Structure 1
Amino acid sequence: MSERINARLSRPLAEFVERMVGEDGLYETPSEYVRDLIRRDMERREGQIVQDAILSGYRDLAAGRVFASSGDFNADMAMLDRKETDGWQ
C-alpha cells in the first residue's frame, strides 16, 4: 500500500528538482527523486545508529567496562545488569 504526499516547494527548490528530473536529469519523475532521497536518509540514519552503538562499545572498552562472555545470552545479560548495578566494581 502506498501513501500520497503533497509538498509545496519554494521556487529555488522547484527549479533544482526540475534540473534533477527529465531527459537531462538523473531521475525520470519528481516522485522517483523524492523516494530516493527518503531511502538515502533512512540508510544514513540507520548507519548513524550502528555507528553510535560501536562508539558506545568502544567507550565501554576504554573505560574497562568489559567481562568475558559465558556464551549464554541470558546469563550474560544478568551479569551485565549486576555489573551496572555495582558500578562496574
Structure 2
Amino acid sequence: MSITKQYLKSKPECKVTFNVPAKDANNVEVAGDFNNWKSTKLKKFKNGNFKGQVNLPVDKEYQFKYIIDGEWVNEPEADRLEWNEYASTENSVLVV
C-alpha cells in the first residue's frame, strides 16, 4: 500500500493518491475525516492495484482507513496511527 502527495502550486491543496495492491479483492474503498467516513470506491486496475485520488486542504491532518472487501484496514505507510475512542481502534493519519 502507498500514499502519494502532490502539493498544488495554484491553490492550498494537496492531491493525494491512494494505491492499494489487493489482487484478490473485489472491492476497495477509503473512508475518513475528509469524506465524513462515507466510503469512496477506488478503481481496480488490471495489475490488481486499486487507486483513487482526493484533493485535500493543506495544513491539516486526516484520519482514515481502507475497507477491503468489508474489512477495515490501516495504511502501513501512513504518517502515523492514532487511537480513536469512538471506534476503539487505531486509525491511519494523513498529514498534508
TM-score by structure 2 length?
0.19
Relative to total residues, which structure has the larger strand share, 1 or 2? 2
Q: More relative contact order in 1 or in 2 (CA 8 Å, sep 6+)?
A: 2
Relative to total residues, which structure has the larger helix share, 1 or 2? 1
Larger radius of gyration: 1
TM-score by structure 1 length?
0.20
